[in-house]
Amino acid sequence: MTAAASRVTCAIGDERAASRVVDILSESVDDSDVAVAAFERPDGRWDVTMYFAAPPDQDAVRHLILLAAGPEIADTVTFDTVAAQDWVRSSLEGLAPVHAGRFMVHGRHDRERVPANKLAIEIEAALAFGTGHHGTTRGCLLLLDLVLRQRMPERVLDLGSGTGVLAIAAAKARQRRVFASDIDGRAVLVARENARLNGVGPLVHTVSATGFAAPSFAAEGPFDLVLANILAAPLRRLAYPMRRHLAPEAFVILSGLLPSQAGGVVASYRAHGLKLVRRLQLDGWTSLLMQRM
C-alpha cells in the first residue's frame, strides 16, 4: 500500500500523440515522484494517466499536455486524488498477459499467470509502448514464432528495439546472441535492463545507433533475421541499407504500419530483392514477413 496520490488523466486520439505526451511529461518531472502510464483502449484511443506523490502544478501539467497534444486534449485533462492503495499495481491492471505463439508478455503483477509451456517476457513498464500489448509488437512476436518453426537463425538483429521485447524473445527462444539497436540512448538502457531482468542479459548486445550507420552492424552481420518495429517512412528508407546487411534467404519482420502503408513498404523491399511471405493484421496495424530472394 502507498499513500494517497494525485492523478492526472486525459484521453488522446492515437498512439503517436500519446507517446509525445508521455515523453514530454516524463522529461519534465522528477521521475522519483511520478509514474506515467499509457494504455490503448478498445476503441483505438489512448488513455494517459499520471500519478503524483504530491499535488502537481495543474497549470504547468496542462501546459505540457497542450504543447504535446494541442488545446482540445489539454481542455479535457482531469485532476483527482486516489485513496491510499497500491496505485502502481492498479495502473497496470488493464495490461493482461499477452499471448503470441510460444511467447507470453506480462508484467511483474502477472508472474503467477504464466503457463509452463510459454516463454515468458516480463516487461515492468510504466508505459504500454513496447510491452507487447500493441498490435505491432504482438504481430512481430507471432511472425517470429512462425520463422522459428522453420529454421533457427544464427545472427539476429532487433532494429529500433525500444524496451527490448523482440530481442528478449529471440534470445530466449534461441538461447543465442541477439544484436539490438535503437536511436534513443535511453531506450537502449531500458532494453539492456529488461534483458538482464529476463535472464538473457549476456545474450542481448545493445547499442545506440541511427539506421545501419554504426560500424558494429558490419561486424555483427550479415543477419539471418531482422526485426524492425518502427514506422513506415523510416522502414522504406532502410530497405537499401538493410538489404546490404542480410545473409542469403534471410527473413525480415517489419511492423509499425497502418494497412494503407503496407503496400508501399512491400514495394520498397521488393525493389531491393525481398519477397513478401506473410502479411498479418492485428488491432488495425499490419506486420510483414519478408525474405531475401
The CATH number of residue 270's host domain is 3.40.50.150
Confidence of residue 233 (pLDDT cuts 50, 70, 90): confident
pLDDT for 87 beyond 50? no
Q: How many residues does the chain have?
A: 293
Q: Given a cut of 50, is residue 2 above it in pLDDT?
A: no
Query: Of the ranges 115-124, 170-179, 253-262, 280-289, which is most confident?
Result: 170-179
Inform me whether the pLDDT recorded for 4 exceeds 70: no
Position 35 pLDDT exceeds 80 = no
Nearest 10 degrees: Cα torsion 79, 84, 85, 90: 0
- CB-CB contact of 2 with 85 (8 Å): yes
Residue 74 lies in a domain: yes
Q: Residues 282, 227: one domain? A: yes
Question: Quick one: 286 and 240 in the same domain?
Answer: yes
* Residue 40 domain-assigned (yes or no): yes
Q: Answer yes or no: are the C-beta atoms of 219 and 226 closer than 8 Å.
A: no
Q: Are the beta carbons of 104 and 64 closer than 8 angstroms? A: no
Radius of gyration over alpha carbons of the chain, in Å? 19
CATH of the domain at 30: 3.30.70.260
What is the domain range of residue 59? 5-91
- Mean pLDDT value across residues 111-119: 82
Point out the least confidently predicted range of 20-34, 242-256, 279-293: 20-34
Q: How many Cα atoms occupy the beta-carbon half-sphere of 21 within 13 Å?
A: 32
Which three cell numbers mark 32? 522519483
Same domain for 177 and 34: no
Which of 46, 67, 91 represents a domain boundary (last residue)?
Answer: 91
Taking every pair of Cα atoms in the chain, the longest distance, rounded to a whole number of angstroms, is 59
Q: Is 104 among the domain residues?
A: no
Res 179: pLDDT: 97
b/e string for 59-90 if b means 16 or more Cβ within 10 A?
eebbebbeebbeeebbeebeeeebeeeebbeb
Mean predicted confidence (pLDDT) in 148-154: 95
Query: Of 86-90, 118-122, 126-130, where does the model show the most confidence?
Result: 118-122
Residue 260 grid coordinates: 494503407
pLDDT band at 125 (very low <50, low <70, confident <90, very high): low
The answer to which of 130-139, 184-193, 281-290 has the lowest mean pLDDT is: 130-139
Q: Read off the pLDDT of each residue in 222-248 and give the average, rounded to a whole number.
A: 94
Instruction: Indicate if 74 and 150 belong to the same structural domain.
Output: no
**In terms of domains, do 257 and 189 share one?**
yes
Which 3 state secondary structure label does DSSP give 83?
A: coil
Q: Considering only residues 125 and 162, tell me which one the structure prediction assigns the higher pLDDT.
A: 162
Position 156 pLDDT exceeds 90 = yes
Segment 255-267 mean pLDDT: 91
100 lies in some domain: no
Question: Does a structural domain hold residue 122?
Answer: no
What is the pLDDT at residue 3?
53
The answer for residues whose C-beta is within 8 angstroms of residue 32's C-beta and 6 or more apart is none
233 inside domain:
yes
Same domain flag for 164 and 240: yes
In a domain, 171, yes or no: yes
Span 133-142, average pLDDT: 82
Give the range among 34-43, 93-102, 159-168, 242-251 with minimum mean pLDDT.
34-43
The domain boundary residue, chosen from 72, 91, 110: 91
- Specify whether the CB–CB gap between 179 and 220 falls below 8 A: yes
Model pLDDT, residue 288: 97
Q: Are the C-beta atoms of 161 and 187 separated by less than 8 Å?
A: yes
Residue 63: inside a domain: yes
Is residue 33 over pLDDT 80?
Answer: no
Pair 176, 240 in one domain: yes
State the pLDDT confidence band at 193, using cuts at 50, 70 and 90.
very high
- Judge contact between 123 and 138, C-beta under 8 A: no
Mean local confidence (pLDDT), 2-11: 74
Instruction: Report the domain count for the chain.
Output: 2
